[in-house]
Each structure stands twice: as structure tokens, then as C-alpha cells.
Structure 1
Amino acid sequence: MSQSHLLIRPQGTAGLVTSVTPESAGWTHVGFELHRLSPGGTVRGGDSSRETCLVWISGKGRARAGAMDFGLLGRRITPFDGPPAALYLPAGMDWEVSAETALELAVCTAPDRSGDLPPRVIDPAAMERLSRGVGTNVRHVTNILPEGEPAQSLLVVEVITPGGHTSSYPPHKHDEDNLPHESQLEETYYHRFNPPQGFGFQRVYTDDRSLDEAMAVEDGDVTLVPRGYHPVAACHGYDLYYLNVMAGPKRTWKFHNAAEHEWLVKK
């Protein structure tokens, strides 16, 4: 069976292991990279036209940007150990992160139309944390960079879905510029499992089924959601973490539930 064009497997175990650009994804807004560094390793970045949200998936690293020293950030050992450290950087600001421990760093980018927001550390203690759903649809959300916090394009959130539960469910989509009912947003999912040998499933599909792909996702995989509904299921015994990066022409998250599954919201 050939691999879905929406499923991105990690390339190697060290350095830049995953890279999604607008060009490689065939879309306009979202960029995503995943770096795995050994202690003492360094990663650098910065773009003249794109804002960045750095997310410490696990481990500790010292961050600098421009002439600013943000010190040592990160405190969790795995992505299942509470909220992450994060750093927002506007377009035109070069940055560097040096690993103090083994470090897994996500680099989330999107167009920055002005570059006039200041860089800032996003305090883990200030991140909104909530649970959604009922029964086997319960999942736990941490809002890293929601629409109520300053940014030009980026929306960044992470979710933990207990084993045997569904997430991004009932199936919803956000692929039409039809505000206030629905916004047009591209999206990436970066998946991790606990224990790491676990797996889950994600389906990406449209009403007319012109896009309809079901994927088995494993630890470290990224899935692309250019359009359509995109539910996820975590298999029994394996909790699923994912980091979502979203961006589109307007910075707001308004979604549309699949009509045939809308009844699940009303249970």
C-alpha cells in the first residue's frame, strides 16, 4: 500500500527530522519543523516574512532572538508532562536555541503581514487548559497561541487524547472563508504516543469524497489537513498527544461539524 501524500514520516532521529513548508504541502500559510537535539546542539532560524512560535515539546534549551536573551526554557520531560514552554517571534527576527538537555523543538510559522508585534515568552502557567467532550470523546487541550493572544496568523494548540478515545470529533472542518460561520485554515498535526510504540488513526475527507484518506499514525508522524474533516482515534492502551498548527487568510477558528454527525454534540 502506498503512503498517503498527507502523511509525513520523520526522517531520521536527530537534527531536523520533519519539515513542512507551504511549497512542500501545496498550500499557502502553515510551516512546521521538528528538531531533535542532543545536549549542546544548536538550531537557528528566522524569516523576513513569517512569524514563528517555538514550542518546547520536551527538554530544556536556551533561547536568544536578535539582541534578546530569553534564558533557559522548558521543564517537561515528555509532551505528556504538563504544558510546554513556548516563544513567539515576529517576522524579521533571527533566533537561536541551544539544547541544555536532549531537546525536541517544534518550529511553527505562518505569514506575518506587519512584523510589529514584540517577541515574548508564552508562560506555561498562563496557558488555558480545558477538557472537551464526554465519555470516550473526552480530550485535554492546552491553548498555546489561541486567537485571543497576539499574533498575525498563527494558531497553536496541543491536545492529549486518552487511549481508546476520539478527538477532533465529531468530524469538523474549517476550509471555507464563510465567517462568522466558518474560517479557512490549513492545519498540521504532530503526533506522539505514550508508550511510544502505540498507534492511532486519522481520516481526512470532504463531503463529496474528492478527498478521502485514512491513515495509521505512529509516534513522530505529521499529518496535513489542507481541507475537509479530520477526526483522530487513539487505540486502547496508548495515549495520543498532538500539536496543531493552523493559519489562514483570517486569524480565527470557526469550524463546521459534519451534518450527519451533528447529533453527537447534542447528546
Structure 2
Amino acid sequence: MTRTPEPQRQEHECHLPAGKAANGLYTVDVSPETAGWEFSSLRVVELPPGGWHDFDTGDSEWIVLPLSGSCTVAVEGQTFRLTGRESVFTGVTDFVYAPRDAHASLATRDGGRFALTGARCTRRLPARYQPASAVPVELRGSGRYSRQVNNFAAAARPGGGSGEQGFACDKLIAVEVLTPGGNWSSFPPHKHDEDRVGESRLEEVYYFEIADRDGAPGLGYQRVSPSGNGRNTDLLAEVRDGDVVLVPDGWHGPSVAAPGHDMYFLNVMAGPGAERVWLICDHPEHADVRDSWVGRPIDNRLPLYTAPGSRHDAD
């Protein structure tokens, strides 16, 4: 199929179209310095068959998360084998945690794409492996608000749920969200840009992958609206495969998947709080949406998949 050239998209400092955040080997390289904040990082590296990548963790903790393909990760004198997955739309993946002040080496026999989710931190935790079977898979919302969340490095959140079973890190919080075509995620719009009772200040990265349909490229939309804090971010972006959206502040949501095109996004968060928690404030004009979910069925297309040997929670 011949694809029609895409029109030029309006530039915004918090929307990084595919390739905009590339740096050397990394197809995505978001650091505190490039994002203009303090803690959160995301890198994506694509490796050919037989490829490898060495990196120093520096002042940050990192999780090596296969987006596609398998690999080994050598860190702290240990070598961990990651089974990985075919794609983000086909299964939960295992992963490896690499502590700050360490050297890590990633190698792949068959090639693949690998996300490095990072956060500046102070504690030095041990290197560890987490199997896919230990990743809580959660279903949120109902109807067209239904989505799936792979809570691989989630933190405690209001109301409990499987997010409290997330992998232990010092500062890093990271989850994967899968939204069936035509559905809305990150709704009601919410924020976490203040340290106060019931809310924690967290910088957030959204990294998107959008499924094609019959060879046609997918798309979606991401909204960030001003909350009166920080940069007062105001963004409405058309997002496509490989795009990144930075959320330094503001009400974020909805994340809208075009009909026929399932949407994946990887969220990376970190902040200055002494306690690693995900405390959010819903937009007052839409907060009652959560009440409408009670007793209503979740989209029957979900879950798209489950972790091997695990259960999923409806919330």
C-alpha cells in the first residue's frame, strides 16, 4: 500500500514526534536535562541481530523492558535472560532492574527494541529480575473508557488495587497502558503536579506505539490542559507510532485511540517526594466519571492478553 505523506504537525515543546527525541543509538532519549525537569528518563534502543549496548546507570535507577524481542542483561556481576515478547500488543514481558552507579550490558541474538525507564534516585537497590508472571495485569474503567494496565513497576495509589503490588524501586514508577481502538484512557483528566495532601508531584513521560490496521498507520490524540502550576502546559497532540509526550504539569487526559487502532503507551514517572506513591487529583468537571463505571461491564476486547499464570483485576 502506498502511504500518503503525513502533513506537517504543529510543534510543541512537550510533543516529540517520532525521531525528534533520537540521539545516537537511541530512537528516544529523554533525560531530565532535555525535558527540563529533575527526575524522569526514558530511552529506547533498537538493536540488530547480534547487537549489544553498554551503558552506565549514573545517578539513576533503570528498568530494561523489552518492547519487542529478547535479550540478556549483565549487571552487578549477574547475567539475566529476558524472554521478552513479539510486540507490546502480544504479551506481558519480564524485565531487569539495574541500580544507580552501575554498568550494564544488553545483548540480543535476534534483535529487538528495548525501553530503558529511569529515575534519578538516592538509594542503591540490588539488581533484580522480574518474571512476566509476577506483573499484575489490571482492567480499569468500563465501556469506552476501558483500558488495560500492566503494573510492572507501579506504586501505591488511592483506593488500593493491583498498583500496590508493583515492583520495588526508589523513585521510579512505570506502567504500560493498552487502549482498544475507539476507547479513551487517562480519563477522567487528572494531575499530579503539587505536593499536598492527596496529591504527589510527579514528572511523566508518555511513549506511544499505535497498531496498524490492514497496513494503514494508526493515530491517537493526547490532551494536556493547564492547571495553573509549573509551565501551565497546554497541548492537544495527534500522536503516532514512536511519539513521546512530556507531562511536566497540568491535567492530562484523555488519551484517545482512533477506531480500529489499538494504542499502547508506556508511562514513566518520578518526583521529589520521600515516599514513592501515585497520588492524583481528578479534574473537578469530570471526576464523577469514575462513579459511572460502577456495575457496568468492561469492554469485552479486554484483556488483550494476560501475564502467564497471573490474574487480572477489574477496577
Aligned to 2:119: 110
Aligned to 2:295: none
CA distance in 2, matches of 1:162, 1:197: 15
The Cα offsets for residues 213-250 of structure 1, whole Å up to 9 and x where unpaired, read as 10000001111000011111001000001111000012
Aligned to 1:255: 280
CA separation of 1:52 and 1:75: change in aligned 2, threshold 3 A: closer
What is the identity, as a one-letter code, of the residue corresponding to 2:206? Y
CA separation of 1:154 and 1:68: change in aligned 2, threshold 3 A: same
Aligned to 1:138: 146
Q: Secondary structure at the match of 1:18?
A: strand
2:110 to 77, 88, 101: 101
CA distance in 1, matches of 2:41, 2:84: 25
1:47 maps to 2:57:
yes
Indicate conservation of the 8 Å contact 1:90/1:112, yes or no.
Answer: no
1:245 maps to 2:282:
no
What is the identity, as a one-letter code, of the residue corresponding to 2:91? G
Aligned to 1:20: 30
What is the identity, as a one-letter code, of the residue corresponding to 1:15? L
Indicate conservation of the 8 Å contact 1:14/1:35, yes or no.
Answer: no
Q: Secondary structure at the match of 1:230?
A: strand
CA distance in 1, matches of 2:62, 2:287: 35
Write out aligned runs for 1:207-222 (5 A). Answer: 207-208=227-228, 210-222=232-244
Q: Which ranges in structure 2 are unaligned for 5 or more consecutive residues?
A: 1-8, 156-163, 293-315
CA RMSD in angstroms comes to 1.7
Give the CA deviation at 1:74.
2.8
Give the CA deviation at 1:208.
4.5
Q: Which ranges in structure 1 are unaligned for 5 or more consecutive residues?
A: none
Aligned to 1:227: 249
Aligned to 1:162: 180
Larger mean Cα displacement after TM superposition, 14-23 or 148-157 = 14-23
Write out aligned runs for 1:56-75 (5 A). Answer: 56-70=66-80, 72-75=81-84
Give the CA deviation at 1:2.
3.3
Aligned residues: 264
What is the identity, as a one-letter code, of the residue corresponding to 1:56? P
CA distance in 1, matches of 2:114, 2:242: 12
Give the CA deviation at 1:100.
1.7
What is the identity, as a one-letter code, of the residue corresponding to 2:54? R
What is the identity, as a one-letter code, of the residue corresponding to 1:259? P
CA distance in 1, matches of 2:251, 2:75: 37
The Cα offsets for residues 61-97 of structure 1, whole Å up to 9 and x where unpaired, read as 1111131111x31331110111122111111111011
The Cα offsets for residues 25-73 of structure 1, whole Å up to 9 and x where unpaired, read as 0100001111111111111112231111111111011111131111x31
Indicate conservation of the 8 Å contact 2:71/2:84, yes or no.
Answer: no
What is the identity, as a one-letter code, of the residue corresponding to 1:104? R
Give the CA deviation at 1:15.
3.3
Aligned to 1:122: 130
1:177 to 192, 195, 198: 195
Structure having the larger proportion of residues in strand: 1
TM-score by length of 2: 0.80
CA distance in 2, matches of 1:28, 1:176: 14
Q: Secondary structure at the match of 2:195?
A: strand
Larger mean Cα displacement after TM superposition, 75-84 or 154-163 = 75-84
2:209 to 176, 182, 192: 192
Indicate conservation of the 8 Å contact 1:13/1:36, yes or no.
Answer: no
Indicate conservation of the 8 Å contact 2:183/2:257, yes or no.
Answer: yes
CA distance in 1, matches of 2:289, 2:119: 33
Give the CA deviation at 1:150.
1.6
Indicate conservation of the 8 Å contact 1:87/1:120, yes or no.
Answer: yes
CA separation of 1:109 and 1:216: change in aligned 2, threshold 3 A: same
Q: Which runs of 4+ in 1 moved over 3 A?
A: 12-15, 207-210
Larger mean Cα displacement after TM superposition, 202-211 or 153-162 = 202-211
Give the CA deviation at 1:14.
9.1
CA distance in 2, matches of 1:13, 1:114: 28
